[in-house]
Amino acid sequence: MASIPGNRLESAVSNVSKADPACRVDEPVRLHALAIRGSASGQTVTFEPAPLISCAMASAVADWLDTSIQPLARGYFNLSLAAMRVGGGQECRRRNGASTGPISEHASGQALDIFAFKLAEGGTSETVLVEKPSGLVQNRFLDAVRQSACGAFMTALGPGSDAAHANHLHVDIQTRRSRTSRFCQ
């Protein structure tokens, strides 16, 4: 997917201990920007700061931007998605930073935390903070974004699900036992 014009992904070397197999990332990439496919004007979405994730996760994010986020940005604001403020690329840790319990999906680069969506077009721009959307339209946009994330990823957790996700939307592609055990709030 790096060959798609507008995509800026560099293959990366996971910087955490390779001794821990739970923290191994398949095909790690540093995700700088993704092209919106099917967009005549060659729009790209930048990731701030560029996270280190697996290529499979980068691909899932790219599909989600194309099929859901860009159409929602146009529909609600008549703007294009320009950037996303993100965090939680690869980190070798347990879920929610706990000292015991399951290894976080972030450990294997299969997850991304989204803090804000930046939309822009011409001289107009709008920033939607996941923690604190402002006004009815931003609230509806975020509701629709979260709903679409439930279909696009295996897990989508955001404000209201638990204290650890009060200020961001967590999405991951961690495979669960069955499609019906998909975890989404």
C-beta closer to Zn ion: residue 115 or 120: 115
- Provide, rounded to whole angstroms, the least separation between the CB of residue 95 and Zn ion: 9
Task: Tell me the two tokens of residue 122.
Answer: 């011409």
- Tell how far CA 20 is from the center of its chain: 25
Residue 113 near residue 130 (C-beta atoms within 8 A)? no
Q: How far is the CB of 111 from Zn ion (least distance, A)?
A: 5
Query: Minimum Å distance from CB 155 to Zn ion?
Result: 9
Burial of 23 (0-12, 13-18, 19+ CB in 10 A): buried
Q: How far is the CB of 23 from Zn ion (least distance, A)?
A: 15
Q: Which residues in this chain contact Zn ion in the complex, by CB under 5 A?
A: 88, 113, 170
| Residue number of the CB atom closest to Zn ion | 170
Beta strands 44-48 and 80-87 are parallel
Q: Among residues 113 and 126, whose Cβ is nearest to Zn ion? A: 113
Structure tokens at 133: 């959307």
Q: Nearer Cβ to Zn ion, position 35 or 88?
A: 88
